[in-house]
Amino acid sequence: MLELQDICFTRENKKILNHIDLRLEDNQFIVITGPNGSGKSTLAKVIMGIEKQDSGQVILDGQYISNKSIDERANLGMSFAFQQPVKFKGITVYDLLKISAKKKINRKEACDILAKVGLCAKEYLDREVNNSLSGGELKRIEIATVALRKAKLTIFDEPEAGIDLWSFQNLIKVFEDIRKEIPGTTIIISHQERILNIADKIILMKEGKIKKIGSKEELLPEVLGKKNKPKCCKLGGDTLE
């Protein structure tokens, strides 16, 4: 389904992505992990078309899509949740859900979608997607707008960042549901053991390269063990060095 061929991305003399090759099967749940600055977000952005690689190819279902714009990729079945949710002036949570759903959804349906990410919906629907919402709330709304699209390929960039403990439990549930309900491939960038635990496949990145790729049985000991310990994180806070 998704294939990356020899992707390179260099900025300011730094090889942020250094010859990345990757082939992902359909209907898998993939977790990308690795230290901060290893190029995970950049890789995700290259897949979605938000950043343009210097060389290499992105192939979706056999189609070369490197020259396709973000919206074209979205309409080919890609969906992307930002690490830092974007804020707007005047656009409400309901507006964003409507745009994302691509069809008419009524308030009840919108509420059900928000309830899944643990937001008591009625109070939120007419709120503006701006700084009046907390980081955790913005993050959950971001996840809701993206999961709602039920895309063929969905990418979540560190969905756990900024989420408090209580909602973290629900977040795991959200991803378990996505796994069951959405027929497609999900890529999650994460440092969280509980997310790593539901992966079909784990990709470990380091310094712009894919260092290892394998099943969780193969990679979890290395990823979580003392050796090469990735940046571990505190729930509800930023990732710690």
Task: Give which of 178, 67, 165, 182 is closest to 116, Cα–Cα.
Answer: 178
- CA-to-CA distance for 55 and 53, rounded, in angstroms? 5
**Which residue lies nearer to ligand ADP by CB, 19 or 150?**
19
By the rule CB under 6 A, 102 interacts with ligand ADP: no
Residue from 7, 31, 35, 41 in contact with Mg ion (CB under 5 A): 41
Q: Are strands 153-157 and 185-189 parallel, antiparallel or unpaired?
A: parallel
Q: How far is the CB of 239 from other proteins (least distance, A)?
A: 21
Residue from 2, 4, 7, 16 in contact with ligand ADP (CB under 6 A): 16
Size of the site for other proteins (CB under 8 A): 24
Q: How far is the CB of 157 from ligand ADP (least distance, A)?
A: 7
Structure tokens that stand for 230 in this block? 């990735």
Size of the site for ligand ADP (CB under 6 A): 10
Task: Give which of 31, 2, 29 is closest to 182, Cα–Cα.
Answer: 29
Query: From start to end of the chain, where are the E strands?
Result: 2-11, 14-24, 29-33, 55-60, 63-64, 78-81, 153-157, 185-189, 201-206, 209-214
Angle between helices 135-147 and 165-181 (to 10 degrees): 10
Q: How far is the CB of 140 from ligand ADP (least distance, A)?
A: 20
Residue from 2, 7, 29, 38 in contact with ligand ADP (CB under 6 A): 38
By the rule CB under 6 A, 39 interacts with ligand ADP: yes
Q: Which parts of this chain interact with other proteins (CB under 8 A)? A: 48, 50, 69-71, 74-75, 78-80, 82, 86, 88-92, 95-96, 99-100, 102, 145, 149
